[in-house]
Amino acid sequence: MNHQINIGFETAVEDEAEVAALIRTCALRVLESEGVPFCAEIDVTVVNADTVREMNAAYRDKDAVTDVLSFPMYEFVNGAPQERLEREPDSGRVMLGDMVLCYTRACEQAAAFGHSPARECGYLTTHSVLHLLGYDHERGDGDARLMRGKEEENLAFLGLTREA
């Protein structure tokens, strides 16, 4: 599949090219592992804590810094679309939605959890793409286990274990 992951940085990141490559790799892995049968597109924006806090307050009514926000374009349930998907006229791709990743929060969490920023960014990317595909850990224990299993499976495939 010719999926496209668009990545923009609205905050300074020391190793921008490396972070962008990691995000792209993780997002593409999830799309591949889920067997997405169409060319998908995802927009990713890497932001700072102030920006993600403003967005979290505006869109989720939660005035707090968070690590990642997912804004799906379509309704999916556990990878199955619940509505007709429209292809973009110019590219032929289906826009799955937007991901907003707070890099500073990811680095803080990596330090707190005792693993690398790469592992944390990989986890957050995997988590967000699964949300765009309709997986939701807040629907109940069964859905939470399903989503967590898919996260760990994809991260293990990429070598981004908790020790990484």
Residue 125 lies in a domain: yes
Q: Could you give the number of structural domains in the chain?
A: 1
Cα–Cα dist 99/122, whole Å: 13
Q: Residue 164: pLDDT band by 50, 70, 90 thresholds?
A: low
pTM comes to 0.94
Contact 147, 137 (CB under 8 A): yes
Cα–Cα dist 76/136, whole Å: 10
pLDDT at 71 (0 to 100):
98
**Domain span at residue 59?**
4-157
pLDDT tens figures, 103-132? 999 999 999 999 999 999 999 999 999 999
pLDDT at 106 (0 to 100):
97
pLDDT at 144 (0 to 100):
85
Residue 55 lies in a domain: yes
Q: Residue 162: pLDDT band by 50, 70, 90 thresholds?
A: confident
pLDDT at 137 (0 to 100):
79
Residue 163 lies in a domain: no
pLDDT at 70 (0 to 100):
97
Give the contacts of 134 (CB within 8 A, at least 6 positions apart). 72, 75, 76, 77, 78, 79, 80, 81, 82
Residue 164 lies in a domain: no
CATH number at 118 reads 3.40.390.30
**Top mean-pLDDT range of 88-97, 142-151, 153-162:** 88-97
Residue 84 lies in a domain: yes
Residue 64 lies in a domain: yes
**Percent of the chain scoring above 70 in pLDDT:** 98
Residue 162 lies in a domain: no
Task: Report whether 3 belongs to an annotated binding site.
Answer: no
pLDDT tens figures, 63-93? 999 999 999 999 999 999 999 999 999 999 9
Mean pLDDT of 39-53: 98
pLDDT at 141 (0 to 100):
77
Tally Cβ neighbours within 10 Å of residue 41.
19
Give the contacts of 69 (CB within 8 A, at least 6 positions apart). 52, 55, 56, 59, 60, 99, 100, 128
